[in-house]
Amino acid sequence: MQIFKKGKGNKAIDKTNAKRIENGKIILDLPLVPFNGKIVPLFQVISPTVGPEESLKVNDNYCRHILSSYGVLQIPVVYWKSSLKKIYSDTIVGVTGSNN
């Protein structure tokens, strides 16, 4: 004859690293970091700004692949062409040299 021990009820779970699921995808909140005097999420894409005498148009779309502790991230970014024929690119917050 087997004797089963009765459970002691629910045990506390550490929820600090819990992830949300939305539309079948895992959602992870990234840490906030300072950038140009503002607080923004890590890996946020920031488009360039230019003066009033210059305007920007999309020149090319591409994806940057970044190795991080969160895994390999695929981040869509844009090359921009200005009315003065200069080329700019988006910056990824927290990634050194991301606007190259």
Those residues whose C-beta lies under 8 Å from the C-beta of residue 8, and which sit 6 or more positions away, are: none
pLDDT in tens, 3-37: 656 656 677 777 777 788 899 988 888 899 999 99
- The count of domains in the chain is 1
Q: Which residues pair with 38 in a beta bridge?
A: 35
Dihedrals φ, ψ of 51, to 5°?
A: -70, 175
Contact criterion met (CB below 8 Å) for 33 and 40: yes
pLDDT at residue number 38: 95
In a domain, residue 97? The reply is: no
| Token pair recorded at residue 3 | 């004797």
In a domain, residue 71? The reply is: yes
pLDDT at residue number 11: 78
Residue 49: domain span: 20-92
In a domain, residue 36? The reply is: yes
pLDDT in tens, 40-73: 999 999 999 998 889 999 999 999 999 988 889 9
In a domain, residue 4? The reply is: no
pLDDT at residue number 5: 62
In a domain, residue 48? The reply is: yes
Spatial distance between the Cα atoms of 90 and 76, rounded to a whole number of angstroms: 9
In a domain, residue 1? The reply is: no
| Higher pLDDT pick, 87 / 13 | 87
In a domain, residue 47? The reply is: yes
pLDDT at residue number 44: 94
